[in-house]
Amino acid sequence: MKNIYRFLGASTITVACLTSANAQSKFEGFYGQVGVGYESTNPTYTSSPFTVAGVGSANMTTSVSNQSGFTGALGVGYYAAITKDFLLGLGAEYDPLNSSSANYTIGIAGIGTTTGTYKKQNSYNIFLSPATPIGTDGLLYGKVGYTGASIQATAADGSQNSTNYTGFSLGAGYKQIIQGGLYGFGEVNYMNMGNQTNNYSGTAYGYRYTYSTTSSATGFNALVGIGYKF
């Protein structure tokens, strides 16, 4: 009789484990979420010589400080089960907030310097998200995406110009069901936005001038937030 009880007990545990292992992840399907956190952006600039027609050229130097501060992101997406241990998601997120401002300085040898500020705005990210369930209530996930943002520069005289950047993003995070479809999450993301070249020209004191700048940016953010799986 004891052996029968042991067999029944072992069978019950085995069935429970198999049921748990093969249970559907609660993250399959559509979701929406909002996150807040910290971001840092590291831009780089190189400039061509400042050339004045009929006069000559002068070297330009550009110094740009890093930008860091509060950030946010609104996201939507969908996860589909490929196997019981692997989900694949497609998502998109947008940051409706402008970043804090940071400073830049442009110097022209023999002429002088000018200063200004810049800020990042209209950030977005479209990504694939491979994921693995942790039980039925947790999800460990990665992100590989296409990202973009606009950098708005404001010169000392108040003039403004914007440059659009695009590149790739990588991220990783974890989601945990709190109750029903409500979940919390935490993640980190890395962004790399490629070179963008801008050409400038104008007239000063009757002389035409030209120059160009090539810029790029890298950055990361760390976010925590809540979401709802529909």
Residue 20 has pLDDT above 70, yes or no: no
**What pLDDT is recorded for position 180?**
95
pLDDT band (50, 70, 90) for residue 10: very low
**What pLDDT is recorded for position 3?**
42
Can you tell me the mean pLDDT for 145-166? 89
**What pLDDT is recorded for position 4?**
36
**What pLDDT is recorded for position 112?**
84
Contact between 155 and 145 (Cβ < 8 Å) = no
Neighbour-count burial of 55, counting CB atoms closer than 10 A to its CB (0-12 exposed, 13-18 middle, 19+ buried): exposed
**What pLDDT is recorded for position 223?**
98
pLDDT band (50, 70, 90) for residue 17: very low
**What pLDDT is recorded for position 16?**
37
Can you tell me the mean pLDDT for 47-67? 88
What does pLDDT average to over the chain? 87
**What pLDDT is recorded for position 1?**
42
**What pLDDT is recorded for position 23?**
57
Which domains does the chain carry? 25-229 (2.40.160.20)
Residue type, 22: N
Can you tell me the mean pLDDT for 36-63? 89
pLDDT band (50, 70, 90) for residue 209: confident
**What pLDDT is recorded for position 201?**
87
Range from 160-164, 184-188, 224-228 carrying the lowest mean pLDDT:
160-164
pLDDT tens profile 68-114: 999 999 999 999 999 989 999 999 999 998 888 899 898 888 788 88
Q: What is the rounded end-to-end Cα distance, in angstroms, of the chain? A: 49
What DSSP line would sit under 56-115, residue for residue?
EEE-EEEEE--EEEEEEEEEEEEEEEEETTEEEEEEEEEE-SPPPPEEEEEEETTTEEEE
- pTM of full prediction above 0.75: yes
